[in-house]
């Protein structure tokens, strides 16, 4: 009998790649668990663990994928006129049901409210951002309005104590931190056509003009004492209930205001109706990513608003909000990066190429380990920032297991300012490169953009993360801000920061790591001190900030490894500091960030391969020898 002829593939038969399903995003993320265990008391972590585990399961559930796909395929649009050509009482911003449900899901899980839950103690910000980290990659970008809502809530907490109990801000705060169906979101309107981060060019003006009477249907929120007129060029969360915005007063200086987007009025027949609070949606933006998120250009005509904080002190009043939104941004970048790594690893487990399993091919195994190392360095920087934020807000955290935290007061304030700018810029930028690497690791499928299939749509993760490098300050803006604060300020900020770094270096017990990092820090500090003109420091701002980030991440990786002697953590620290692996990209001072001196030190060996497997997969390298190509296996 003759052999059976091979069957050609058809559209419905033949080989199909079947990647392993994504795992519980909390239970499978040892890096997240490690950070939480470092900064959170055991009893607090035990208390919230069931919630985090449940949220990690929901994040990859069919229901969340359905809402996410709906939000992506049913994009927002604006309807301003009815069929008869009459303008509505307010512009109708139509969003999908999936978008709305993803918002409710986030509110139920406390993405905002946990940051203000006093029962969680001083570590509440850490728990909040653990939830944010799990929520963000599955949120369909509802994480963006959540971040601005969190920022608005924090700003209000700093002023509520001085306001009478019947002031509308008290009710607004309760809505912003609600976990029920009545939760509110807040927008943040700063960017204008004349400038993004340079808010001094604002062309929006506020005039003091108290309302002549109080509406029968008003709670007072829609009857602020100021009228706002101007044009806002980028306003995310256009479907928010309120907004915080900057406007110039007659003095020419900026003040911060809060205004509802709509208000209730009573007609001549006694019937209340909802109307615009002077907000006209000029158009929605067409963007590279974040398509499910409604971002608009807004014209403001006599928008009634309330002053927040002192008159003409808008920048210092809104500054705490920026720390919050920047933290949400780099946590979201870390989370999107982790999701991309999970997708790439699931694909590798289900793919065979050149006759061998992809996940064991040495080159691919090395790539996966490199992804994990880069992400671990960024995680250390990001979660330290959150821990310092918690310390700054509460004045205390459990530092028994984290002696590297700055001292409460001036030191913590200086460190937080540097970390939020550096973390937001460097982590966001690194995440984009990291996710692109994961996308490429999935081959042609990684380039596909199937809107209705979010589980392995890594292209969507990439285009939705790209915005983080620009949102809340582009890399150059943040580098300039960091250098001006740390080095060019008339205060002793650099001395304070340097004292903290040197104390951290003194905590490192591993001599080789301590010496290498100490030498890098000394060279870094000397270069900053030797700069003769501010413009030259600012000109090299990118490398300054990325080099600082590399040093800080190296210190944290060393301290993390030493706290329990974990083998994988120790190997990651060794590779980052001594071998030039991992790192934060090309924008560093190469003569300060050391590399192996002897060429043989960088040779790939069997031991290196075994550690790659432990780092990437948390397991020992299987006995089967995989070489990477059919031709080599015959030798």
Convert the pLDDT of each residue in 216-260 to its tens digit.
Answer: 556 789 999 999 999 999 988 899 999 999 999 999 999 999 999
pLDDT at position 635: 46
Residue with tokens 């790649």: 17
More confident residue, 602 or 573: 573
SS3 252: coil
CA-to-CA distance for 502 and 520, rounded, in angstroms? Answer: 12
Question: Is the per-residue pLDDT at 506 higher than 50?
Answer: yes
Over residues 152-164, mean pLDDT? 96
pLDDT at position 216: 55
More confident residue, 4 or 473: 473
Question: Is the per-residue pLDDT at 633 higher than 70?
Answer: no
pLDDT at position 599: 55
Question: Is the per-residue pLDDT at 83 higher than 90?
Answer: yes
Cβ atoms of 212 and 154 closer than 8 Å: no
Strand partners, 265: 273
pLDDT at position 327: 97
Q: What percent of the chain is predicted at pLDDT more than 70?
A: 95
Cβ atoms of 466 and 288 closer than 8 Å: yes
Indicate if the alpha-carbon torsion angle 217, 218, 222, 223 is positive or negative.
positive
Cβ atoms of 56 and 130 closer than 8 Å: no
Closest alpha carbon to 189 in 238, 226, 262:
238
pLDDT at position 242: 97
Question: Is the per-residue pLDDT at 628 higher than 80?
Answer: no
Cβ atoms of 35 and 52 closer than 8 Å: no
Question: Is the per-residue pLDDT at 434 higher than 90?
Answer: yes
Over residues 25-40, mean pLDDT? 97
CA-to-CA distance for 228 and 207, rounded, in angstroms? Answer: 7
- The DSSP output letter for 454 is -
pLDDT at position 604: 84
Question: Is the per-residue pLDDT at 6 higher than 60?
Answer: yes
Over residues 398-410, mean pLDDT? 85
Hey, which of 16-25, 63-72, 351-360 has the most confident mean pLDDT? Answer: 63-72
Question: Is the per-residue pLDDT at 462 higher than 70?
Answer: yes
CA 287 to the chain's CA centroid = 19
In the chain, where are the structural domains located? 185-313, 475-605
3-state secondary structure 266-305: ECCCCCEEEEECCEEEEEECCCCCCCCCCCEEEEEEEEEE
pLDDT at position 136: 98
pLDDT at position 484: 94
Q: Which band of pLDDT confidence, cut at 50, 70 and 90, is reported for residue 365?
A: very high
SS3 81: strand
Residue with tokens 């809502």: 149
Tens of pLDDT, residues 486-502: 998 888 999 999 999 99
Class of domain 185-313: mainly beta
Cβ atoms of 512 and 566 closer than 8 Å: no
Cβ atoms of 1 and 318 closer than 8 Å: no
**Averaged confidence pLDDT in the chain:** 93
Read off the pTM: 0.95
214-220: list long-range contacts, CB under 8 Å, 24+ apart.
215/263, 215/264, 215/265, 215/266, 216/266, 216/272, 217/264, 217/265, 217/266, 217/272, 218/263, 218/264, 219/168, 219/171, 220/166, 220/167, 220/168
CA-to-CA distance for 263 and 256, rounded, in angstroms? Answer: 20
pLDDT at position 489: 87
Over residues 32-44, mean pLDDT? 96
Range with lowest mean pLDDT among 131-135, 291-295, 398-402? 398-402
Over residues 121-150, mean pLDDT? 97
Q: Which band of pLDDT confidence, cut at 50, 70 and 90, is reported for residue 630?
A: low
φ/ψ of residue 632, rounded to 5: -75, -30
pLDDT at position 600: 57
φ/ψ of residue 181, rounded to 5: -65, -15
Structure tokens at 27: 């239970």
pLDDT at position 626: 83
CA angle 59, 61, 65 (to 5 degrees): 85
CA-to-CA distance for 632 and 626, rounded, in angstroms? Answer: 10
Over residues 172-190, mean pLDDT? 96
Over residues 186-207, mean pLDDT? 88
More confident residue, 603 or 182: 182
Q: What percent of the chain is predicted at pLDDT more than 90?
A: 82
Q: Which band of pLDDT confidence, cut at 50, 70 and 90, is reported for residue 531?
A: confident
Over residues 196-223, mean pLDDT? 82
């Amino acid at each position: 009998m003759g052999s059976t002829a091979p069957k050609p593939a058809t559209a419905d038969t033949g080989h199909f790649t079947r990647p392993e399903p994504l795992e519980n995003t909390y239970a499978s993320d040892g890096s997240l668990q490690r950070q939480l265990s470092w900064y959170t008391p055991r009893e607090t972590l035990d208390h919230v663990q069931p919630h985090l585990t449940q949220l990690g399961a929901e994040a990859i559930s069919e229901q969340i994928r359905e809402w996410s796909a709906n939000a992506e395929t049913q994009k927002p649009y604006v309807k301003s006129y009815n069929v008869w050509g009459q303008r509505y009482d307010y512009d109708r911003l139509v969003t999908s049901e999936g978008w709305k449900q993803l918002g409710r899901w986030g509110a139920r899980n406390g993405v905002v409210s946990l940051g203000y839950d006093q029962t969680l103690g001083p570590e509440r910000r850490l728990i909040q951002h653990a939830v944010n980290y799990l929520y963000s990659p599955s949120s369909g970008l509802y994480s963006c309005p959540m971040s601005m809502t969190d920022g608005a809530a924090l700003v209000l907490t700093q002023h509520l104590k001085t306001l009478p109990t019947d002031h509308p801000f008290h009710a607004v705060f309760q809505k912003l931190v609600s976990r029920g169906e009545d939760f509110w979101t807040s927008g943040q309107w700063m960017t204008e056509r004349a400038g993004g981060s340079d808010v001094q060019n604002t062309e929006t003006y506020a005039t003091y003009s108290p309302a002549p009477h109080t509406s029968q249907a008003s709670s007072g929120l829609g009857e602020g004492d100021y009228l706002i007129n101007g044009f806002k060029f980028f306003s995310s969360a256009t479907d928010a209930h309120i907004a915080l915005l900057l406007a110039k007063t007659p003095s020419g200086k900026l003040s911060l205001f809060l205004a509802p987007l709509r208000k209730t009025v009573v007609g001549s027949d006694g019937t209340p109706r909802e109307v615009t609070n002077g907000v006209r949606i000029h158009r929605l933006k067409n963007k590279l990513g974040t398509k499910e998120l409604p971002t608009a250009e807004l014209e403001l005509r006599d928008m009634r608003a309330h002053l927040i904080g002192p008159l003409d002190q808008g920048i210092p009043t809104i500054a705490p909000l920026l720390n919050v939104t920047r933290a949400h941004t780099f946590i979201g970048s870390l989370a999107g990066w982790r999701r991309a790594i999970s997708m790439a690893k699931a694909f590798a487990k289900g793919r065979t190429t050149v006759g061998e399993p992809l996940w064991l091919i040495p080159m691919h195994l090395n790539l996966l380990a490199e992804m994990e190392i880069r992400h671990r360095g960024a995680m250390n920087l990001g979660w330290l920032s959150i821990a310092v934020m918690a310390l700054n807000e509460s004045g205390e955290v459990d530092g028994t297991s984290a002696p590297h935290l700055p001292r409460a007061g001036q030191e913590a304030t200086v460190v937080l300012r540097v970390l939020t700018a550096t973390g937001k810029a460097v982590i966001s930028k690194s995440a984009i490169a990291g996710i692109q690497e994961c996308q490429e690791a999935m081959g042609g499928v990684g380039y596909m953009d199937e809107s209705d299939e979010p589980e392995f749509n890594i292209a969507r993760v990439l285009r939705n993360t790209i915005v983080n490098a620009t949102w809340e300050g582009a890399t150059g803006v943040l580098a300039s801000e960091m250098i001006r604060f740390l080095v060019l300020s008339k205060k002793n900020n650099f001395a304070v920061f340097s004292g903290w770094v040197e104390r951290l270096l003194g905590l490192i017990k591993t001599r080789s790591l301590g010496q290498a990092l100490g030498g890098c820090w000394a060279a870094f500090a000397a270069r900053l001190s030797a700069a003769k003109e501010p413009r030259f420091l600012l000109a090299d701002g990118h490398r300054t900030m990325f080099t600082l980030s590399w040093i800080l991440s190296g210190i944290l990786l060393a301290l993390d490894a030493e706290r329990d002697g974990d083998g994988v953590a120790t190997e990651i620290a060794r590779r980052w500091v001594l071998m030039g692996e991992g790192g934060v990209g090309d924008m560093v001072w190469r003569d300060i960030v050391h590399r192996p001196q002897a060429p043989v030190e960088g040779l790939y060996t069997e031991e290196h391969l075994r550690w790659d497997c432990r780092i990437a997969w948390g397991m020992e390298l299987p006995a089967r020898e995989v070489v990477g190509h059919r031709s080599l296996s015959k030798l």
